[in-house]
Structure 1
């Protein structure tokens, strides 16, 4: 199953993808999907970690010492 996504990008980035697609005889969607698959995990890690850190610093999120976590888990 596939889904359609519409987004805006810089014209030069679109031109590069279009050129690559034309030269390799692949659809541009192949490269957009490849980029998302390769980098989405990293982006989630970065931005969600930043959000979590902000919550810790503001006191909205509590932290636990590793030795407490290990002791509670019986490790």
Structure 2
């Protein structure tokens, strides 16, 4: 996997917590920062894509379907 370097500044208390976690687990600070960024991006993408879909739905004047009427087993097939 190709990587690129990202430099940023964080509060000293966050750096110290990250440093302690890395020391206790034998992994690098970079490992945890990369993992945190990946997880955070997934959460942010989910949030904003859902927000956009919700706004699009409200603007469409389409009728909603009650939750109990959705055939969940047939979705995605």
TM-score (norm 1): 0.57
For structure 2, list consecutive stretches of 5 or more residues without a partner in the other structure: 65-77
Question: 1:5-44 counterparts in 2 under 5 A?
Answer: 5-44=6-45
Secondary structure (helix, strand or coil) at the match of 2:19 reads: helix
In structure 2, C-alpha distance between the alignment counterparts of 1:63 and 1:36, rounded to whole Å:
37
Q: CA RMSD in A?
A: 2.8
1-structure distance, mates of 2:16, 2:50: 33
TM-score for both structures, normalised by structure 2: 0.56
